[in-house]
Amino acid sequence: MNSEFKNSFQSDWHRLQQLEQSLSNPNYPYNSFGIGNLISLKEEPAAKGLDVREAFIKFHEDHYSANLMRLVVLGRESLDQLQHWVVEKFSEVPNKKIPPPEFEGTPYTKNEMQVLTLHSVCCG
């Protein structure tokens, strides 16, 4: 849990993604953090009486469904072999026919787009 968080400090991709998220609409889910550390995922929730493991299990039950997922496969193997592996590894993902989530608004409003445009002009 902590190692992924620490490794992200050295990753330009993680830094750019965090910047992009922090510049997005604060009222949209994309604005929230994507990874955490031992403090944010264990200690702080425990102090508030929250069980993160149970929250993840509930999220999995409510949102983990084949109809909400997409899979891209790339490999040098034959199409038949790739298909075999996909069926073998993913056919048991349940299809609960959950409707896709709906979010009010957009990740970038006019205000956020102006900030992104200014950032790309001044900072490359």
pLDDT in tens, 76-122: 999 999 999 999 999 999 999 999 988 888 888 888 887 766 556 55
Helix (H, G, I), strand (E, B) or coil at 7: helix
Provide the residue ranges of all domains of the chain, joining segments of one domain with +. Answer: 2-123
CATH of domain 2-123: 3.30.830.10
- Cα within 13 Å of Cα(103), Cβ side: 11
Nearest to 89 by CA among 115, 55, 66, 108: 66
pLDDT at position 5 is: 65
Q: Would the pLDDT of 47 be above 90? A: yes
Alpha carbons 11 and 19: distance in angstroms, whole number = 12
pLDDT in tens, 52-80: 999 999 999 999 999 999 999 999 999 99
Alpha carbons 51 and 61: distance in angstroms, whole number = 16
| Between residues 34 and 110, the one the model is more confident about | 110
